[in-house]
Amino acid sequence: MIRYTLTCFGCCLALALAAPVQAKSFNKAKFLGIDRNADNQVSPEEAAIYRERYFSTVDLNGDGSVAFEEYVQANQLRDATAEKNSPVKVPDDYKAADVNQDTVLSREEFMEAGKAAFVALDKDKDGFVSREEFVAPGL
């Protein structure tokens, strides 16, 4: 019984600690950068403009598609202490975006993934992502 109580207390504590971390994940600078007309809502158009810009920063060699290695380097997914070209596990968001599974994100695949992220963030389904709905990593 004591053990049960302690475990329960542990859970409550974990939940209490998790809450502020979640609140913190709102990225104000990023949101303000995306919300171009500063109405505290991200429209689908603003999201698409942001996504285009993001695409060009991730497409390091500018060939119009994002190879996995570019994605790894742009998002700094490889451990700093790891060997230069050591393999990196493909993250789920990359896998989901790579519809034809060729480990290259075409511009279309990249933009579609952005749209899917937008829909997922728009919790109240009003067609806009509000400040409250916007959480990192976001769009």
Binding site for Ca ion (CB under 5 A): 59, 61, 63, 70, 98, 100, 102, 104, 109, 122, 124, 126, 128
Closest contact distance (angstroms) between CB of 139 and Ca ion is 13
CB within 8 A of 77, min separation 6: which ones?
71, 88, 91
49 versus 131: smaller Cβ distance to Ca ion: 131
Comparing CB distances to Ca ion, the nearer of 1 and 23 is 23
Q: How many helices (H) and strands (E) does the chain have?
A: 6, 4
Give least dist CB 67 to Ca ion, A: 5
Q: What would the two tokens of residue 110 be?
A: 């990249």
Beta bridge partners of residue 105, listed in sequence order: 66
**Distances, alpha carbon 126 to alpha carbons 27, 94, 114, 139, in Å:** 21, 27, 17, 17
- Strand runs (DSSP E) across 1-139, as ranges? 41-42, 65-67, 104-106, 129-130
CB nearer to Ca ion: pick between 81 and 100: 100
| Residue number, 46 or 98, with CB nearest to Ca ion | 98
Q: How far is the CB of 14 from Ca ion (least distance, A)?
A: 29
CB of 37 to Ca ion, least distance (A): 16
